């Protein structure tokens, strides 16, 4: 069955399933990455997502490989550029990835421009279809955190400066559309409000946030914002980092090459948000697994199918 298509914008049609490349260059070798990309493309997927910081777990020696592998695949397979939709992301302030522009330190105009040019080189392309802010420049609870702590707020780059830098990139032809990621309802609405005040012609078209049967934060405030503002959710981690596949519940023991085992202690999000030692998380996972078994549906199909019903899915 062909993967359904969706108009992310009037002139940008994407497959409802998007292949994320977060593991390319760390967990997946170059040949493995090519096999996955070939399978996805041959199955009708035309939408591919990456980020300048990938692969994860992140380290200086591998940073940028995911984009590089994706770019090499496009060139090696001689795929016409207009047959695929490329999305990637600029990293927000971290302080932990000193090998990326000393932190990175911020999402100011210089950092956005530098990151974009570097991504274009690694992807071996003249333009990026969807360029996303990987996480906000300001403090927000994310990657498994749920409660806002006002004492952790810090001075951040203005929404105006970020939007102006992105609008400049669109005007120069380097990117087509803007997306947000790991964003909050406040952040989304603030960006849209500022864009209107700046008379920016190119506004936000998508938000890439975590969304799956174990993480439904989007369903509260963000869902209402996206509905009224016609912003598409790009749902990442539809399998809850593999938890919803059922493989970590196996009586024979979870697979040694499973991501949460292979990189134990290095996936903060997975080990907080999707920790099976949490009674509620384990019980919910077991119940979803039993529902899939009852109706003869693979747990992966159940998880992705449910997520796809609400959004695009990574």
Active site residues: 54
| Terminal C-alpha separation, the chain | 18
Q: Return the structure tokens found at 74.
A: 């496009």
Closest to 133 measured CA to CA, from 197, 78, 88: 88
Q: Return the structure tokens found at 151.
A: 């004492």
Q: How long is the chain?
A: 314
């Amino acid at each position: 069955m062909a993967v359904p298509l969706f108009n992310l914008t009037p002139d940008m049609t994407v497959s409802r399933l998007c292949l994320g490349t977060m593991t390319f260059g760390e967990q997946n070798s170059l040949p493995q990455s090519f096999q996955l990309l070939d399978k996805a493309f041959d199955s009708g997927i035309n939408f591919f997502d990456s980020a300048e910081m990938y692969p994860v777990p992140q380290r200086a020696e591998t940073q940028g490989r995911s984009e590089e592998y994706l770019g090499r695949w496009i060139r090696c397979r001689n795929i016409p550029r207009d047959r695929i939709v490329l999305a990637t992301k600029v990293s927000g302030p971290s302080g932990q990835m000193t090998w990326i522009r000393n932190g990175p330190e911020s999402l100011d105009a210089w950092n956005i421009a530098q990151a974009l040019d570097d991504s274009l080189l690694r992807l071996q392309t003249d333009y990026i279809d969807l360029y996303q802010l990987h996480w906000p420049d300001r403090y927000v609870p994310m990657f498994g955190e749920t409660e806002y702590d006002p004492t952790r707020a810090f001075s951040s780059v203005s929404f105006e400066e970020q939007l102006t830098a992105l609008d400049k990139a669109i005007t120069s032809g380097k990117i087509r559309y803007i997306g947000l990621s790991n964003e909050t309802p406040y952040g989304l609405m603030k960006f849209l409000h500022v864009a209107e005040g700046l008379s920016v012609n190119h506004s936000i078209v998508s938000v890439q946030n975590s969304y799956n049967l174990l993480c439904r934060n989007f369903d509260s405030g963000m869902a209402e914002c996206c509905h009224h503002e016609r912003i598409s959710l790009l749902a990442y981690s539809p399998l809850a980092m593999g938890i919803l596949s059922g493989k970590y519940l196996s009586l024979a023991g979870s697979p040694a090459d499973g991501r949460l085992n292979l990189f134990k202690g290095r996936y903060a999000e997975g080990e907080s948000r999707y920790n099976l030692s949490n009674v509620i998380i384990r019980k919910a996972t077991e119940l979803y697994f039993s529902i899939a078994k009852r109706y003869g549906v693979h747990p992966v199909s159940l998880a992705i199918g449910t997520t796809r019903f609400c959004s695009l899915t990574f």
